[in-house]
Structure 1
């Protein structure tokens, strides 16, 4: 029987691994219907993962409605079906659904809305589809006008606040010309005039379903003595929008201004049909597969009937194992609780323990109060796993866990900082100090594997100690499913947000390599050196990017998020693609065996983020047409070694040279983390901007494409191969 249980567990794990491996292929799905159809044939048949943004927050700063719809779906929310059949849809949406083999009627209400929006459509007051065009053909997720953009147009705002006390803004005085000067979209004509409401706003209800209604705003401006016409996408139905110069009584919603589309203005303003987003593409494929699996259950009936007997045996085995686990559970609930002060968490000292009693009631309270949940029973996806006791032992037997246990009642949850598909991070108060607490989503039914993965992350984070790695403070729990990881809180946020804010406010002039960026780069490289030097096996982070770097008050960099990190043993086969695609090394993207050198490639991409203040490949265009490259083609070029992130003209030559080494196609040719640290430390100084890189040899080779390729030789490396960065219009062609 034990052998049978072991085989069942192995089969389940194999299916999960297959799903995870396929998620990399989905992230590279082409966004045009013609090529997307072929890509789909390769994907259907294996359950795919839907790529989500772990930092996403529906607060009026983004127009990524598809992300909001999916987060609602993942939390168990529903929405009524839209009153359309497939034949009622615009042709592009019909074509997109036909490529998947779905009808509009088969989709849940939230996915219906995501498909309409992501395909570049909204609705007017009469439920007529309205076509939307975006500047440069970017996705609909990128058409929101930010507060800084709105202010730059010279417009004024009505300042409001939402029920959470968060400040929101609504347009007040703004001419049509001023509004359209910062718009990122254009709309088909809408003839029905909307009410006297704002044309731009921030805000968002985290649990709200955006309405995406296109509204016509036309008026005669008595100040500018002009007739103006602006279209605006309202996420509240226009009848529910507060009047102009009035704040909403509850949550407001983002409003996105658009120009009137015409063929004559399209070329001048670069208006194009928007590209498809990766999330909606994957969500459609997954839905098709789930429907397909459901209809094939009829073929499994004989097998299921034959498995009834086996099920009875498993129930008997589970009852026996539960009796054996009772002692472990009692120990779990009555384990010693050690009070950890955030101010002294890094000292290694232990406070005096006290006996903790098993809570008898559920006393979960609202935000700002202590959090204690004891009577929630986790619903595992496939029965009660036999290895649950190993999780219990990890909490009560691991000396690191026992020494760092925090009483749950001492954590006071204040506000949510970030949320993802599986977890969320909260700002909490612990003994008058602010801490960050990570836990699994309470609104989502967690599986055993979710809890196991989170426990692995906690144990790994607890084992790390370095000035440039986020500090683990403790772990709190009452039951397995509400384990919380307590970490230091860094109020300055992540490096990505810091760089973006600097670009928006100063155009990048607020930060320099000599005074700021080189210090951050060295700190991140030192964190990598520490991880890669761990013994007996190096630790691969696997998701190095600016979003996973936090900033201290003294502007020190600290690496976070070890949820996908893994130990690497030389000679082992690690091929599962994880991380964020644009920061991912080519060998990971193409499914080859990889090592800690994949982190070095990601670090090279991060150097481009530091230098430009922008995400990689945000300006990647084809050589002839000048149009933006779709994500699928960008990743293909990266895998072929034909494309690297751009650096600014002001990037110091030494930094550029180090980045080029990190971004080499062959992982064996990239420098080790310790070498990167040494090279960066040599550059640090008042003459950084002029200092040439101190490399044993830096050779430039000319190629027929007129682009330079760098090759280098280092003491612990084999002679390098020339590297080219040609961008071909056809990514299937070899680089030259």
Structure 2
């Protein structure tokens, strides 16, 4: 799906396309099959496919918080580099999917912790079936869920026996959380956004009086889980059980288990999903840098176009207004056509072929300038005519040289100045 940037300035709108990264044919995951929309997949404890659950919740419009102050492990960063993705720009759901699919979970301190698989299992099938759990001598507690299906959890089970059925090994770490929840649980809320979180379960068993340590991968927050040998309440994960997986710790494993553990390999379909859906917002490829430059250039060009259109509009408006003013003045009784045309085009007055030039105004240069057919007692010093010929005083020039108005002027001696109203660089205004 194409994305666009909507650039709107001063009422002008420009749509700038933003290109998403296309999967190259050389990408191993380009043809990987994504989970089907018609799939009957449910995260109910029969599998540990958290990535698929997160994919469906993402498509359903769910979201999750990003991991705060997260230190990306080296192997996870290597995969991010291959996918050309920035961890810190990925949304929370995408972070969880990539984390789990790459063989990691988080501790209660929000630190990444590595997971290895055993006996050929993958990250999607670490869930221990009920039959295998009971085969090692463990009993189960049965709880009803809102969907009329059951959730199972460990009841009576020695730590050593439980680990016989475990399918994973977890990197040892110091856990400050004291937890008393179950270490093996099936069932699950179909709408849950799981977060793979590891807790250390350490206890002395009352049956054989031995100390046991089991690392368990939980998928919901502690407040969403019931205590051991209890069923979930309505306010705990909506009354559903939640997947919990028992695992060995690297601190206490046999040489046989140590040699059997394998690093998780990310799945191609998760890589394809993340690149297709998130490279536009979390990409780190050089193409994205070129795109940013292109985007800036496009925005700058759009702004220049808008400014140019605005300037043209302003120029045309001013020109139309000037024409209106000219037409008004030509029709005014104080502006004779021949005279105003002379003002408008000085070369016009020099053309002797123009008829009726004799009716234009006459200025006689002497000590004073007098006007034809008017009261000659009204006189003006000659230098004013040159002053009023300037472009800034054109209107004053027109009014001053109008034969119609000259006869209506008051003599300077008859004017009595009472009070100055305003003074400025261009003159003064008086009350007379």
Contact 1:97 1:104 in 2 (8 A): yes
Match of 1:60 in 2: 45
Instruction: Measure the CA separation in 2 of the matches of 1:79 and 1:219.
Output: 33
Structure-2 change in CA distance of 1:52 and 1:282 (3 Å):
farther
Residue 272 of structure 1 pairs with residue 267 of structure 2: no
Please list, as runs of the form range in 1=range in 2, the aligned pairs for 1:275-314 lying within 5 A after superposition.
275-291=265-281, 298=295
2:181 to 185, 197, 221: 197
Map of 1:134 onto structure 2: 117
Higher mean displacement: 275-284 or 207-216 = 275-284
CA distance in 1, matches of 2:89, 2:25: 20
Secondary structure of the equivalent of 1:214? strand
Q: Secondary structure at the match of 1:233?
A: strand
For the residues of structure 1 that align with 2:27 and 2:295, how far apart are their CA atoms? Answer: 23
Cα 1:169–1:300 shift into 2, 3 Å: farther
- The question of 1:238 aligning with 2:222 is answered yes
Gap change, CA 1:156 and 1:136, over 3 Å in 2: closer
State the alpha-carbon separation in 1 of the partners of residues 29 and 205 from structure 2.
58
SS at match of 1:205: coil
CA pair 224-140 structure 1, distance change in 2 beyond 3 A:
same
Q: Deviations over 1:516-575 (max 9, x none)?
A: xxxxxxxxxxxxxxxxxxxxxxxxxxxxxxxxxxxxxxxxxxxxxxxxxxxxxxxxxxxx
Output the TM-score relative to the length of structure 1: 0.33
Residues 1:257 and 2:246 aligned together: yes
Distance 1:232 1:124 in 2: 11
Deviation at 1:142, TM superposition (A): 1.6
Find the aligned partners of 2:295 and 2:255 in 1 and give their Cα distance: 52
What is the CA-CA distance between 1:137 and the residue it aligns to?
A: 5.6
Partners of 2:125 and 2:53 in 1: how far apart?
14
Deviation digits for residues 5-62 of structure 1, max 9, x if unmatched? xxxxxxxxxxxxxx9xx9xxx9xxxxxxxxxxxxx77239989863458231111211
Give the deviation of 1:300 after TM superposition: 11
- In structure 1, stretches of 5+ residues that fail to align are 1-18, 27-39, 306-736
TM norm structure 2: 0.55
Matches within 5 A, 1:408-557: none
1:75 aligns with 2:65: no
Corresponding position of 1:101: 84
- The aligned residue for residue 215 of structure 1 is 199
**Contact residue 145 and residue 256 of structure 1 kept, 8 A:** yes
Counterpart of 1:619 in structure 2 is: none
Taking a change above 3 Å as real, the CA distance of residues 290 and 71 of structure 1, as seen in their structure-2 partners, is same
State the 1:171 CA deviation. 0.8
Aligned counterparts of 2:126 and 2:250: Cα–Cα separation in 1:
15
RMSD, aligned CA: 3.1
Counterparts of 1:264 and 1:196, CA distance in 2: 23
Structure 2 equivalent of residue 225 of structure 1: 209
**Deviation digits for residues 350-382 of structure 1 (CA, Å, limit 9, x no counterpart):** xxxxxxxxxxxxxxxxxxxxxxxxxxxxxxxxx
The equivalent position to 1:159 in structure 2, one of 125, 142, 151, is 142
1:724 corresponding residue in structure 2: none
Matched residue SS, 1:143: coil
Q: How far does residue 90 in structure 1 lie from its aligned partner after superposition? A: 0.7
Q: Following TM superposition, by how much is the alpha carbon of 1:211 offset from its aligned partner in structure 2, in angstroms?
A: 2.2
Q: By how many angstroms is 1:248 displaced?
A: 0.4
| Alignment of structure 1 residues 629-644 onto 2, 5 Å | none
CA contact (8 A) 1:213 1:238 kept: no
Cα distance change of structure 1 residues 77 and 100 upon mapping to structure 2, 3 Å threshold:
same
Instruction: Give the direction of change, closer, same or farther, for the CA distance of 1:281–1:136 in structure 2 (3 Å limit).
Output: farther
Once the two structures are superposed, what CA deviation does each residue of 1:629-657 show, in whole Å capped at 9, x if it has no partner? Answer: xxxxxxxxxxxxxxxxxxxxxxxxxxxxx
Distance 1:44 1:105, change over 3 A: farther
- Residue 135 of structure 1 and its aligned partner are, at CA, apart by 0.6
Who is 2:392 aligned against?
A: none
Question: What is the number of equivalent residue pairs in this alignment?
Answer: 265
Paired residues of 1:121 and 1:132 also in contact (CA < 8 A): yes
Compared CA separation, residues 96 and 199, structure 1 to 2 (3 A): same
CA distance in 2, matches of 1:299, 1:282: 29
Shift of 1:268: 3.9
Q: Distance in 2 between matches of 1:179 and 1:51?
A: 32
Aligned counterpart, 2:154: 171
Map 1:595-674; keep pairs closer than 5 Å. none
**Deviation digits for residues 287-307 of structure 1 (CA, Å, limit 9, x no counterpart):** 3544469957849979xx9xx
Compare CA radii of gyration and give the structure with the larger one: 2
